[in-house]
Chains A and B, each alone.
Chain A
Amino acid sequence: ETGVTQTPRHLVMGMTNKKSLKCEQHLGHNAMYWYKQSAKKPLELMFVYSLEERVENNSVPSRFSPECPNSSHLFLHLHTLQPEDSALYLCASSQGRDRGNSPLHFGNGTRLTVT
């Protein structure tokens, strides 16, 4: 149990499908993040939410749409994805978006394959 739970663990979708990734954190943190992890590349920050407000959108295509209904839940809505979007999508949380000196706690990710 990591404290950050992601579902589903695996997802295969066609380019015309619409799906959503879900993340829930049980750590009482107030900042949540979406990262993309591709092979042999560093983690890429996609979105940051602090106190349910989106504070960063790292030039992510509009086919990715985040939603943060409360400080414990984070979604990533997917539509008309491309094969190059296949990757491991990681959710993370931290104690404070701008405090620094606070590690990110990650979930186990959703392995997404776009066919």
Chain B
Amino acid sequence: GESVGLHLPTLSVQEGDNSIINCAYSNSASDYFIWYKQESGKGPQFIIDIRSNMDKRQGQRVTVLLNKTVKHLSLQIAATQPGDSAVYFCAEGLRMGTYKYIFGTGTRLKVLA
């Protein structure tokens, strides 16, 4: 079906540790993927994106990995900080007539001091 899901609804991580948030997507035709961070009372904030012709992309403290074989996307956050506490969700983009974005439900990341 057309769905993007997250394996873990809540992830608790010790401050300073690395975080890994996972996402499964179901559309093999998806060619673009985005990770968003949403803090309480705010809209989704763009973190990092990756095109389907890549399998890894790095940003500042974040890395996105794409495994097209198993249709899996992950977001790695290095040295997790209290300010990283938020809901993270992925989105896949694909052309279905017009270009569409399909969003996952989100994983809540809690950073423990």
Which residues of A are at the interface with B, using a C-beta cutoff of 8 A? 2, 4, 6, 40-43, 45, 48, 55-56, 90, 97-101, 103-109
For residue B105, CB closer than 8 A to chain A, the reply is: yes
Judge whether A41 and B105 touch: CB under 8 Å.
yes
Residues of A within 8 Å of B95, CB to CB, are 98, 100
Please report whether the interface of chain B is mostly helix, strand, loop or mixed according to DSSP.
Answer: strand
Count of A-B residue pairs with CB < 8 Å: 56
Residues of B within 8 Å of A90, CB to CB, are 43-44
Residues of A within 8 Å of B91, CB to CB, are 104
Complex CA distance for A79 and B12, rounded to whole angstroms = 42
Give the contacting residue for A108; candidates B31, B43, B99, B104; CB below 8 A.
Answer: B43
Residues of A within 8 Å of B42, CB to CB, are 108-109
For residue B41, CB closer than 8 A to chain A, the reply is: yes
Most buried by A among B46, B95, B99, B105: B99
| B contact residues, range | 20 to 34
Judge whether A42 and B105 touch: CB under 8 Å.
yes
Given contacts A2-B43, A45-B101, A100-B31, 20 further A-B contacts (CB under 8 A): A2-B45, A6-B43, A42-B89, A42-B102, A42-B105, A43-B103, A56-B98, A90-B44, A97-B99, A98-B99, A100-B32, A100-B95, A100-B99, A101-B32, A101-B51, A103-B46, A104-B91, A104-B101, A106-B45, A108-B43
Of the A-B pairs whose beta carbons lie under 8 Å apart in the complex, a sample of 8, sorted by A's number, is A42-B103, A48-B98, A100-B31, A103-B34, A106-B36, A106-B43, A107-B43, A108-B42
